[in-house]
Amino acid sequence: MKVSELSRRTGVQVPLIKYYLREGLLPPGRATASNQADYGEDHVHRLRFIRTLIGTRGLSTSATKEILDAITAEQEDLHQVFGIVLGVRPTKMEEDASTEHSPNEPEPESAGLADARMLIAEMEWDVSQGNPAAHTLAEVLAALADLGADIDWRGLLPYARLADSIADLDVQQMRGERDVLAQAERAVLISILLEPALLALRRLAQEAKSARHFGGSRPDKANST
Amino acid sequence: MKVSELSRRTGVQVPLIKYYLREGLLPPGRATASNQADYGEDHVHRLRFIRTLIGTRGLSTSATKEILDAITAEQEDLHQVFGIVLGVRPTKMEEDASTEHSPNEPEPESAGLADARMLIAEMEWDVSQGNPAAHTLAEVLAALADLGADIDWRGLLPYARLADSIADLDVQQMRGERDVLAQAERAVLISILLEPALLALRRLAQEAKSARHFGGSRPDKANST
């Protein structure tokens, strides 16, 4: 297909496609004339993946290129691919950069991080040391303690079990695509794009249950379709 | 107690306490001398609540004052209070402001919003028309459609059911405080502060399951405590 058709199929404007070609995010098409090239389904898949990745993770072009290169290198190992696109596992360039700056410095463990690791162990989650989510969890635990709430890591266990069930759903959703890029794209959609949806669903459910448990009339009840 | 003790009990610095007093967020203490006042447990509770509200929702001082006034007005109705502190239900000032600008303009429904309402109806969630979470959900549904993912509102139903279970947990957590401000504070903590924790827990679970389902060795496995 011509570049105009590629643009139509993917929703990416032609100038941007040419930019990606120049930057090496997209391989060249098959030259058919001095200023024309023929593009195939692979180009469609790759462009859609780039659009999803940049749209959901807000990455720079160079970061996106690193990820694409890393995926090509790890193609056989879907778990590695998911780690890369979700930002769990650093790309080789990121690893090299961080080893240069802080060789062999063990991270001092905060109380929050120690508690986060207790929760992770209790859930029997086999996760990598560098997963940023453990640090996010640690920050929340520290904030809860700082605000004097009586919720510690044990209090989060029922939530962790439900999060575990959500992850089961996620994994089911991630199956079934034919090629690595399509699966990586789906992983990004399920993982990242659904985050605000999950929080919104919880807030809606909270309002519904609060009405039931904590009473009160509501003057503007109007959720019928 | 003196203001210094109030500061110690709440973690709020004395100059900030005096600012809240001047702005009317905190009622005056009982005057004991020309430049001293005596503060009680009510002041402790109110200050802790202010700190939590501002810390989790990033509200301005005037917005916080509106919320405090609204809570005082609605004290008997905990559901209304929760709606106010969680930003679900606008305060009267917000309602007046929005009626001035757009009287009786029915909102044109986007496709995403129509689908969000289908999901809400299917879950039998009795929620108010103005709940912003419905709009967030609509935006995600629209983004999914735009990116060509084959996930529509029906595909989100399993997630909605798990969100419903999470909200059951939340409601259980919100019980048991003695006074309205303490319960409102707990509602803010459970609802808002836990949001990043839930997303982090899901990400950790995803990594654990991805390792199991999609194979692959991991060189830096080290999550033992």
**DSSP assigned state of A156:** G
In this structure, is residue A225 part of a structural domain? no
Task: With CA atoms as reference, report the closest residue to B182 among A119, A148, A194.
Answer: A148
Q: What does pLDDT average to over chain A? A: 83
pLDDT at B96 over 70: no
Q: Which domain holds residue B57?
A: 3-92+109-214
Q: Flag whether A223 is in a domain.
A: no
pLDDT at residue A79, rounded to an integer = 81
Q: Is B224 part of any domain?
A: no
Distance in angstroms (rounded) separating the CA atoms of residues A206 and B67:
19
Q: Which of A52, A66, A51, A40 is nearest to A12 (CA)?
A: A51
| Mean pLDDT calculated for residue range B106-131 | 87
Q: State pLDDT tens for residues A189-206.
A: 888 889 999 999 999 999
Identify the pLDDT of residue B212.
82
pLDDT classification of A52: cutoffs 50, 70, 90: confident
Distance (Å) from the alpha carbon of A32 to chain B's nearest alpha carbon? 29
Judged by CB atoms closer than 8 Å, whether chains meet at B167 and A194 is answered as no
Domain annotation covers residue B220: no
Burial of A207 (0-12, 13-18, 19+ CB in 10 A): buried
CB contact under 8 A, B220 and A134: no
pLDDT, tens only, A136-172: 999 899 888 877 788 999 999 999 999 999 999 998 8
What is the phi/psi pair of residue A76, to 5°? -75, -20
In chain B the beta strands, taken as DSSP E runs, fall at 30-33, 36-38
Cα separation of B174 and B188, whole Å? 9
B79–A214 CB contact, under 8 Å: yes
Instruction: Out of A166, A213, A223, name the one closest to residue B159 (CB).
Output: A166
Q: Which of A79-88, B118-127, B169-178 has the lowest mean pLDDT?
A: A79-88
CA triple A208-A212-A218, angle to 5 deg? 75
Chain A partners of B86 at a C-beta cutoff of 8 Å?
A: 203, 206
Q: Looking at the predicted structure, is the pLDDT value of residue A225 above 70?
A: no
pLDDT at B98 over 70: no
Handedness of CA B14, B17, B23, B27 (dihedral sign): negative
Q: Please tell me whether the overall predicted TM-score, pTM, comes out greater than 0.90 for this model.
A: no
How far is the alpha carbon of A137 from chain B, nearest alpha carbon, in Å? Answer: 5
| Chain Cα centroid distance, residue A124 | 22
Q: What does the pLDDT read at residue B87?
A: 75
Percent of chain B with pLDDT over 70: 86
A150/A37: higher pLDDT: A37
Is this complex scored with an ipTM above 0.90?
Answer: no
Dihedral sign of CA atoms B107, A216, B139, B90 in order: positive
Instruction: Assess if residue A18 is contained within a domain.
Output: yes
Total domain count for chain A? 1
Cβ contacts (< 8 Å) between A166 and chain B: which residues? Answer: 159, 162, 202, 205
Q: Read off the pLDDT band of B220 (50, 70, 90).
A: very low
